[in-house]
Amino acid sequence: MRSNDRFKRAYNRCLDALAALPPGAALDSEAALARDLGVSRTIVRAVLAALAEAGVVSADGRARTLVRAPTAADRFSATETESVRATIEKRFMEMVLQHDVRPGAQVNNLELARQFAVSPSAMREYLTELSQTGLLDRRRDGGWVFRGFDLDFARELFDIRELFELRSAALFADLPGDDPAWAQLDDIERRHHALIADIDHAYKAFSQIDAELHELVNAASRNRFVDKFQSLRSLIFHYHYLWTKDDEKERNLVALREHLVYIAALKSRNRPRIRAAALAHLRSARRSLYASIAKGAPG
């Protein structure tokens, strides 16, 4: 059980919930924790046993009490809690961003499975899913070909992005003050300032922090379809931005500053202000995407 990524994600989520409680507080029942964490009671029991072993909680029969506040050292690392699907998605996006995969490039399932250290079936499942978006074509010999997309596709995609994110941003404002998302937002804001301060050297790190911010906002919807769209959004927008490298630093600096306005609006919990900041950033991102498509990928 300890090697299971689902257990580890539940363990970390439980630590997030415990961080809002004072030492000595009683924990909810196993059934309530299973509901809140979205896992089975079997996994909850394993989580509670591990927390007791770590000295975070104590047990007296079925009653559990928080002994001490959780620390960063108690958590499983991000690499340990990633699902196979998330690992493939992350590695595929890194491959596209770092190696400039162009339309027409051949994608080999077995080669990628070896490279990403995952099973061929898991890799094939991801590529099949990606092909349903029009980004990949399946060849008769079983291989894949990476495709681009046209302006009409981009317009439709961005329309959906706006619908999802505007709703998510409004819901983010309603999160309780002790929700872990606010601490994550503080961390993302701090890292934005650090990137801006070192923009000449750090501007290429924009894609990662951009994905983290929008993932955090969209997570407020608690909607599986929004979650599914987020990975496609990250891949497409940053893939096409790489076509126009001449102003990459300046473009990323503008986006980072727009993000800070957006973050400040989220913290204000003022819905009209949030909507205005989100729309301003999304419209700027839309213009950048359209411009990159208009220039086209080099042959």
CATH of residue 45 = 1.10.10.10
Report how far residue 113's alpha carbon sits from residue 127's, in angstroms, rounded to the nearest whole number.
11
Which of 115-124, 191-200, 241-250, 259-268 is predicted most confidently? 259-268
Judgement on whether residues 174 and 280 belong to the same structural domain of the protein? yes
More confident call, 146 vs 101: 146
Q: Of 146, 165, 199, at which residue does a domain stop?
A: 146
Report how far residue 80's alpha carbon sits from residue 92's, in angstroms, rounded to the nearest whole number.
18
Q: How confident is the model at residue 55 (pLDDT cuts 50, 70, 90)?
A: very high
Judgement on whether residues 10 and 64 belong to the same structural domain of the protein? yes
- In single-letter form, the type of residue at position 6 comes to R
CATH of residue 211 = 1.20.120.530
Judgement on whether residues 271 and 158 belong to the same structural domain of the protein? yes
Overall domain count for the chain: 3
Give the DSSP letter of residue 56: S
Q: Of 146, 175, 201, at which residue does a domain stop?
A: 146
Judgement on whether residues 166 and 259 belong to the same structural domain of the protein? yes
Which residue range is the domain that position 139 belongs to? Answer: 83-146
Judgement on whether residues 179 and 231 belong to the same structural domain of the protein? yes
Judgement on whether residues 103 and 139 belong to the same structural domain of the protein? yes
Judgement on whether residues 184 and 206 belong to the same structural domain of the protein? yes
Judgement on whether residues 183 and 227 belong to the same structural domain of the protein? yes
Judgement on whether residues 288 and 157 belong to the same structural domain of the protein? yes
Judgement on whether residues 67 and 88 belong to the same structural domain of the protein? no
Judgement on whether residues 91 and 65 belong to the same structural domain of the protein? no
Q: How confident is the model at residue 298 (pLDDT cuts 50, 70, 90)?
A: very low
Backbone dihedral region for residue 296 (phi beyond 0: left; psi -120 to 50: alpha; all else: beta): left
Q: Any long-range contacts for 138-144 (C-beta under 8 Å, 24+ apart)?
A: 142/109, 143/106, 143/107, 143/108, 143/109, 144/106, 144/107, 144/108, 144/109
Report how far residue 154's alpha carbon sits from residue 286's, in angstroms, rounded to the nearest whole number.
9
Written as six digits, the tokens of 242 are 């790489």
Backbone dihedral region for residue 61 (phi beyond 0: left; psi -120 to 50: alpha; all else: beta): left
Judgement on whether residues 121 and 240 belong to the same structural domain of the protein? no
Arithmetic mean of pLDDT, 260-275: 97
Arithmetic mean of pLDDT, 24-44: 89
Q: What is the pLDDT of residues 203-240, one digit of tens each?
A: 777 877 888 899 899 889 888 777 767 666 666 665 55
Q: What is the pLDDT of residues 58-113, one digit of tens each?
A: 988 888 999 999 988 888 876 666 677 777 877 887 777 566 567 788 888 888 88
